[in-house]
């Protein structure tokens, strides 16, 4: 199961996981893009099904998990990737609605997914949540997003501690700046954002979505069988400096 699957990291993960042999259940709000992606994956010989919906809606998440169980016989892993944030004002100037929206997508969305996925995962099951370098250290002008991505790491560690005895692993990716449609739109509006986004990264470039997808696939796989509760950096070295 992959959330935020209609574009960017989620779409790259859908293609990559399917190419590696996984049957993928895709959850995102944009039905037209999900349908196109499912058609593409099936044409390449993969297995995929679309479940349009918003991770903030617990019923939509429940339907997606149920689809995985009913269509493919169960759920072995999940990549909870859906997230959203924006550059905003200072803390005391931040609108409550903006705070609630960012917390809703990133924290409530991850919470909804964990609540529905964990009961159906068996021993050997694995979950990867998408956090951010904003969840590892603070950056100004995005305080709700910083709070939300810190919370995603907290949920990851708590779930890992609770479900580890059942043989279920839960990890998070600490992701640097990725060249997604959302970031590219922001750069078109504020060109200086690109230079600022990569300044802290040792590699001095943005990640491509497939680079994050590959890291998620590895963490979900048995090759990472002794890793749980982790905050794994895929950030071009940003967390090392």
**Rounded Cα–Cα distance for residues 233 and 24 (Å):** 24
What pLDDT, on the 0 to 100 scale, is given for residue 141?
A: 66
- Between 159 and 240, residue with greater pLDDT: 159
pLDDT bucket at 166, cuts 50 / 70 / 90: very high
CATH number of the domain residue 110 falls in: 3.40.50.720
Whole-number pLDDT of residue 177: 86
C-alpha dihedral sign at 193, 138, 146, 172: positive
Percent of the chain past pLDDT 70, that is, above it, reads 98
Mean pLDDT across 89-118: 95
pLDDT at 112: 98
The residues assigned a catalytic role are: 145
**How far is Cα 241 from Cα 238, in angstroms, rounded to an integer?**
6
- Lookup: tokens for 24: 């993928």
Given phi > 0 = left and psi -120 to 50 = alpha, else beta, which region is 154?
Answer: alpha
Provide the domain count of the chain. 1
Query: Is pLDDT of 189 > 90?
Result: no
**Which of 23-37, 84-98, 136-150 has the highest mean predicted lDDT (pLDDT)?**
23-37
Across the strands, what pairs with 175? 132, 234
Please report which confidence band the pLDDT of residue 87 belongs to, taking 50, 70 and 90 as the band edges: confident
Phi-psi domain of 104 (left: phi exceeds 0; alpha: psi -120 through 50; beta: other): alpha
d(CA 190, CA 188): 6
- Structural domain span for residue 232: 2-236
Residue 44's pLDDT is: 98
| Residue 238 CB contacts under 8 Å (≥ 6 apart), including other chains | 133, 176, 200, 201, 202
Residue located via tokens 């679309």? 50
Residue 186 lies in a domain: yes
**Does residue 241 fall inside a structural domain?**
no
The pLDDT tens digits of the residues spanning 194-238 come to 777 777 788 988 899 999 999 999 999 999 999 999 999 999 998
232 phi/psi in degrees, rounded to 5: -90, 115
Q: Which residue has the higher pLDDT, 125 or 142?
A: 125
CA atoms within 13 A on the CB side of 40: 15
Of the candidates 11, 13, 15, 12, which has an alpha carbon nearest to the alpha carbon of residue 34? 11
Q: Does some domain include residue 22?
A: yes
- Write down the pLDDT at residue 208: 94
Give a yes or no: residue 187 inside a domain. Answer: yes
Answer yes or no: is 15 within a domain.
yes
Instruction: Round the average pLDDT of the chain to a whole number and report it.
Output: 93
Asked if residue 136 belongs to a domain, the reply is: yes
Q: Structure tokens of 138?
A: 């603070």
């Amino acid at each position: 199961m992959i959330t935020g699957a209609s574009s960017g990291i989620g779409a790259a993960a859908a293609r990559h996981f399917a190419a590696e042999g996984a049957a993928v259940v895709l959850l995102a709000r944009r039905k037209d893009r999900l349908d196109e992606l499912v058609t593409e994956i099936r044409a390449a010989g993969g297995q995929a099904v679309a479940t349009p919906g918003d991770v903030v809606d617990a019923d939509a998440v429940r339907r997606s998990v149920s689809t995985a169980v009913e269509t493919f016989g169960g759920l072995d892993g999940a990549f909870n990737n859906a997230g959203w944030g924006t550059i905003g004002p200072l803390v005391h100037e931040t609108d409550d609605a903006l705070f609630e929206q960012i917390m809703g997508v990133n924290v409530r969305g991850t919470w909804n997914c964990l609540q529905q996925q964990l009961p159906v995962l068996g021993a050997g099951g694995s979950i990867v949540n998408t956090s951010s370098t904003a969840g590892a250290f603070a950056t100004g002008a995005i305080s709700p997003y910083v709070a939300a991505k810190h919370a995603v790491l907290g949920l990851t560690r708590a779930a890992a501690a609770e479900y580890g005895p059942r043989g279920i692993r839960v990890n998070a990716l600490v992701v640097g700046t990725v060249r997604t449609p959302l970031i590219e739109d922001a750069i078109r509006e504020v060109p200086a954002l690109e230079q600022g986004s990569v300044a802290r990264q040792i590699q001095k470039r943005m990640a491509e979505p497939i680079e994050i997808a590959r890291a998620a696939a590895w963490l979900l796989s048995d090759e990472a069988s002794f890793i749980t509760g982790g905050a794994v950096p895929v950030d071009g070295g940003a967390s090392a400096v």
